[in-house]
């Protein structure tokens, strides 16, 4: 997000206000750019990916890795973050419950993603 705003500030030059130059504020940049927020696009992509993986056959390697448990001892310190942790956080933010059962049904998964897009666009 920061990188995106930096680039947009270079594209949309500063404005002169009361005899002084100032850079554009974030809301000014977003209204001029009129494109979806890249962070929200990534969140939606993760949700779509999750639906595909949950519906895959158990023999597929992606599904095995997604549901797999590592053997042996875990390392010291904080557990490593996994991709599913990020997706579950987004689902909690959006108030989605029972996402595994919803993801198994293609139509219900699509409607959940559609609702998520509307909520993320509004925020």
Interval 33-58: pLDDT, tens: 777 677 788 888 888 998 999 899 98
* Positive or negative torsion for Cα 21, 22, 27, 33: positive
Q: What is the dihedral of CA 68, 69, 70, 75, to 10 degrees?
A: 130
- pLDDT, tens digit (0-9, with 9 covering 90-100), for 76-106: 888 877 778 888 888 888 888 888 888 888 9
Task: Decide if pLDDT at 117 tops 80.
Answer: yes
The pLDDT of residue 121 is 76
Alpha helices in 12-105 (DSSP H): 26-33, 38-55, 61-67, 83-94, 99-104
Q: Which two tokens stand for residue 37?
A: 């927020």
Please report where in the chains the tokens 């002084």 appear, as a residue.
20
Q: Is residue 119 pLDDT above 80, yes or no?
A: yes
pTM beyond 0.85, yes or no: no
Cβ–Cβ under 8 Å, residues 91 and 101: no
The span from the first CA to the last CA of the chain, in angstroms, equals 15
Contact between 86 and 49 (Cβ < 8 Å): no
Mean pLDDT of 3-9: 77
Q: Cα angle at 114 between 109 and 117, to 5 degrees?
A: 125
Show me where the domains of the chain are located: 2-33, 38-68+79-122
């Amino acid at each position: 997000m920061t990188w995106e705003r930096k680039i947009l500030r270079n594209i949309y030059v500063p404005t002169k206000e009361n005899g002084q130059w100032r850079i554009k504020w974030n809301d000014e940049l977003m209204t001029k750019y009129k494109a979806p927020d890249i962070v929200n696009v990534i969140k939606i992509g993760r949700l779509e990916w999750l639906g595909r993986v949950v519906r895959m056959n158990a023999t597929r390697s992606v599904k095995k890795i997604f549901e797999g448990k590592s053997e042996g001892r875990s390392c010291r310190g904080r557990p490593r973050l996994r991709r599913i942790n990020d997706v579950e956080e987004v689902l909690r933010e959006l108030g989605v419950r029972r996402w595994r059962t919803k993801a198994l049904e293609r139509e219900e998964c699509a409607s959940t993603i559609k609702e998520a897009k509307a909520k993320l666009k509004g925020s």
